[in-house]
Chain A
C-alpha cells in the first residue's frame, strides 16, 4: 500500500514541479525588468558584513528604480541569505540562476561562500561580483568573476610607501594565524624588497589568545624601527595595549582589519598615535577636497544615514559599488543583460569611481583597484585622522 502511494506521488510531484518551473520561466520573459540576484550572509557569524551589504543594495535599487531604472528597465533584486555557510551559498546561487533566471549575481559577504559561488558561476558563465576579501576570488582571473573590496596587497603597498616616506626600513610584524593574517604575512614578505624594506622579525598569535606579551617582548628586543600588526578585532587592540605596557616606543602600523571604531573603543587611550591603513569611507570628513571619490562618498553616507539612521561601514560600500558596477555595465548594453558573455565583457570595460575606490577593470584585473584607494590614518585625540 505504502509503495503504491509512493509510486503515485512521485510523478504527481514531478509534474507539479514542472508546472511551477515553467511558470517561473514565463515570468522572466517580462522585458521591462532586469533580474539581479544577490547572496549575502544576513545571519550567522558574518552577519555584521551581510546586513549592511543588504541594506546598501536595497537602498540603491530603490534609488535607481525611482530615477527611471537602467535604460528604461526596472531592476528586480532577489536577495538570498547564505547563513554564513559555504554549502548554503552554492545552493542559493543555483536557485537564483536556474529558477529565478537572474542575469548576474552579487555576493557573498565571506571569502569561503564567495569562492564556492565563483566556481558555480564560472561553470554556468553567469557574471558574479563578490564582496569578499580573499585575493583568490579574482586571482587567477576568470571570465565573469569580479570583486569590489580592497585586498591586503593594496594595503601592503600603501603601508610600505608610507614607511619609505618616513625613512623607516627595518620592519617587525605580528599577525593573526587565521587566513586573514596569514595572507598578510605572505604579502608583507613578498613586497618588502620592492620597497627596500628589511623584515627583521615576525611573530604570530592565535585569534583567541589572551595575551601577546611574549611575542611583543621578542619584537621589542629586535632592532625594528616599526611594527606592523595584521589582524581583526580584538587582537590588534590587545597588542596595542600590551605594547604600551611593555614600554615599546617605536611606531605601530595596523592593517585595515582593525580600521573601525570598535578598535578605538577597545584600545582606548593606548590607541593614540597608532597608524592605520584604511578605506576612505572610514572617516568621510577626512577626505581631501578635490579627491575624485569625495562626491560619491558624501552622497552615499548622506543617503545611508537618511535611510537607516546609522553610518555606513566599508562592507556597505563594497555592496554599493558592486551593484553600481553591474548597473554601469548594463547601461552600456542598453539594459540587455540576457547574453552573459557580453555582460561579463561589459563589466571588464567599466571605469567607475566608487566609494571603495576608483575601479578600472581590465581583462587582466578583475578587482580594478590600486593602493591609492586606501589612505593612511593616525589616531589622534581618540579619532582617526589623516596621517602626515
Chain B
C-alpha cells in the first residue's frame, strides 16, 4: 500500500510538470494555431539561467526572478521578431520554424554552458517529509504547489480578466477580434510571454530534484506535447488532466511492470487513445471553430 502511494506521489510530481508544459502549448495554440516546439527549451533556460545567476553571486530568489523575466523576454522577442515576421500564416510552416528555433536555442545553450550537467540547490532542504510511510521530498511539495498556483493563475487570467477575454476573442475569431480593436499580434506576443514564463518557473522548481543540463528541455517538451494530444488539442483542462495522467501511468508502469518500459507504455497508451478517439480524450472545445 505504501508502495502504491509512493508511486502515485512520484507520478503526480512529474505529471504536474507535464501539465505545465501542456498548458503552455495550449495557451499559444489557442491564439495562433501554432504548436510551439520551443516549449521544452523554456524550461531548460529557466533552470540554466538560475544556476548561472546563482553562480555569479546573486541571491537565490533574485536569481529565480531574473531568470523568469529573462525567459519571458526571450519568449516575447522570439514571437515578435521571428515567428511574427514569418511571411506565412500557415501553421505547419510556423511549427517547423519553432522546431528550428528549438534546435537553435539548444545549440547556443550547449555552446554557452557546455554539455556538462549542473546542480541547483533546493528551495528548502533536501530532507524528505515522512507521512504514513511514504517519503516526499520538500522540493516535490514546492513543485506541486507551484503547479497549482500557475494553473490557477492561468485559469484566472484567461477566464476572469479583460486581457484573458481578449486572448479568447483572438482564438475564436481573429478578424472579428481585430474589428473590436484587439490586436491579435499583441495577444500572440502575450501568449508566448505567458508560456515562456510558466515554462521557466517549472524548469526552475524541478531542477533541484536531480540535475539540469542544456538538453533537458527536449524530453519534457515531447512529454508535454503527448499530454496535449492525449487530452485533446485546444482544451486546456483536458491537457492538464492528461499531463497528470501521463505522469501517473509512467510512475506506476515503472513500478509494477518495468522501469525500462515506462516511456514505451506511456506512449502506447497515447497510441491506443488516438486510435480509439482521434480527437483526444476530452476533444477540442468549440473554441476556434468559428473562425480561421
Chain A positions within 8 Å of B, measured between CB atoms, are: 177, 203-206, 208, 210-215, 217-218, 221, 233-234, 237-238, 241-242, 244-247, 262, 265-270
Give A175 Cβ to nearest chain B Cβ, in Å.
11
Known: A205-B259, A213-B251. A234 touches B135 (CB 8 A): no
Q: Are B119 and A214 in contact (CB under 8 A)?
A: no
A267 to B120, CA, bound (A): 10
**Cβ-closest chain A residue relative to B216:** A210
Across the A-B interface, the 6 shortest Cβ-Cβ residue pairs: A245-B137, A214-B254, A247-B135, A238-B210, A234-B117, A213-B10
Q: Are A211 and B7 in contact (CB under 8 A)?
A: no
Contacts of B30 in A (CB 8 A): none
Known: A214-B262, A217-B255. A267 touches B219 (CB 8 A): no
**Cβ-closest chain B residue relative to A217:** B6
Known: A234-B210, A268-B121. A214 touches B135 (CB 8 A): no
Give B138 Cβ to nearest chain A Cβ, in Å.
8
**Cβ-closest chain A residue relative to B125:** A269
**Cβ-closest chain B residue relative to A242:** B210
Q: Does B32 contact A (CB under 8 A)?
A: no
Q: Are B10 and A217 in contact (CB under 8 A)?
A: yes
Q: Are B260 and A204 in contact (CB under 8 A)?
A: yes
- Contact among A241, A267, A269 with B209 in the assembled complex (CB-CB below 8 Å): A241
Contacts of B118 in A (CB 8 A): 266
Known: A234-B211, A267-B119. A241 touches B126 (CB 8 A): yes
Contacts of B259 in A (CB 8 A): 203-205, 212, 214-215, 218
Q: Does B213 contact A (CB under 8 A)?
A: yes
- Contact among A211, A246, A269 with B6 in the assembled complex (CB-CB below 8 Å): A246
| New A-B pairs, 6, CB < 8 Å, besides A214-B259, A218-B259, A246-B6 | A210-B14, A238-B211, A241-B211, A245-B136, A245-B137, A262-B116
A13 to B136, CA, bound (A): 72
A262 to B255, CA, bound (A): 30
**B243-283: which have CB < 8 Å to A?**
250-251, 254-255, 259-260, 262
With an 8 Å Cβ cutoff, the count of chain B residues facing the other chain is 34
- Contact among A205, A245, A269 with B135 in the assembled complex (CB-CB below 8 Å): A245
**Cβ-closest chain A residue relative to B133:** A247
Q: Are B262 and A242 in contact (CB under 8 A)?
A: no
Q: Are A233 and B127 in contact (CB under 8 A)?
A: no
Q: Does B100 contact A (CB under 8 A)?
A: no
Give A182 Cβ to nearest chain B Cβ, in Å.
12
Q: Does B130 contact A (CB under 8 A)?
A: yes
A-B contact pairs, 22 of them (CB 8 A): A203-B259, A204-B259, A208-B215, A210-B210, A210-B220, A211-B14, A214-B251, A214-B254, A214-B259, A217-B6, A218-B259, A237-B117, A237-B211, A238-B211, A241-B210, A244-B127, A245-B136, A245-B139, A245-B209, A246-B6, A266-B211, A268-B119
A242 to B13, CA, bound (A): 13
A215 to B256, CA, bound (A): 10
Q: Are A244 and B7 in contact (CB under 8 A)?
A: no
Q: Are A270 and B135 in contact (CB under 8 A)?
A: no
**B116-163: which have CB < 8 Å to A?**
116-119, 121, 126-128, 130, 135-137, 139-140
Chief secondary structure at chain A's binding surface = helix
What total count of A-B pairs have CB within 8 Å? 88
Known: A211-B209, A217-B6, A268-B119. A247 touches B254 (CB 8 A): no
Q: Are B254 and A210 in contact (CB under 8 A)?
A: no
Contacts of B136 in A (CB 8 A): 245
Contacts of A265 in B (CB 8 A): 119
Contacts of A269 in B (CB 8 A): 126
**Cβ-closest chain B residue relative to A208:** B219
A262 to B211, CA, bound (A): 12
Known: A244-B126, A245-B128, A247-B130. A177 touches B210 (CB 8 A): no
Write the B95-120 contact mask toward A (1 if CB under 8 angstroms, else 0): 00000000000000000000011110
Q: Are A242 and B6 in contact (CB under 8 A)?
A: no
A233 to B211, CA, bound (A): 10
> Most chain-A CB neighbours within 10 Å: which of B210, B250, B255, B262?
B210
Give B145 Cβ to nearest chain A Cβ, in Å.
16
Known: A213-B251, A234-B213, A241-B210. A270 touches B126 (CB 8 A): yes
**B185-232: which have CB < 8 Å to A?**
209-211, 213, 215-216, 219-220
Give B144 Cβ to nearest chain A Cβ, in Å.
14
> Most chain-A CB neighbours within 10 Å: which of B117, B140, B215, B259?
B259
A311 to B58, CA, bound (A): 29
Give A339 Cβ to nearest chain B Cβ, in Å.
45
A247 to B140, CA, bound (A): 13
Give A163 Cβ to nearest chain B Cβ, in Å.
24
A278 to B216, CA, bound (A): 29
Contacts of B210 in A (CB 8 A): 210-211, 234, 237-238, 241-242
Q: Are A221 and B3 in contact (CB under 8 A)?
A: yes
Contacts of B262 in A (CB 8 A): 214
Contacts of B116 in A (CB 8 A): 233, 262
**Cβ-closest chain B residue relative to A233:** B117
**Cβ-closest chain A residue relative to B255:** A214
A217 to B121, CA, bound (A): 23
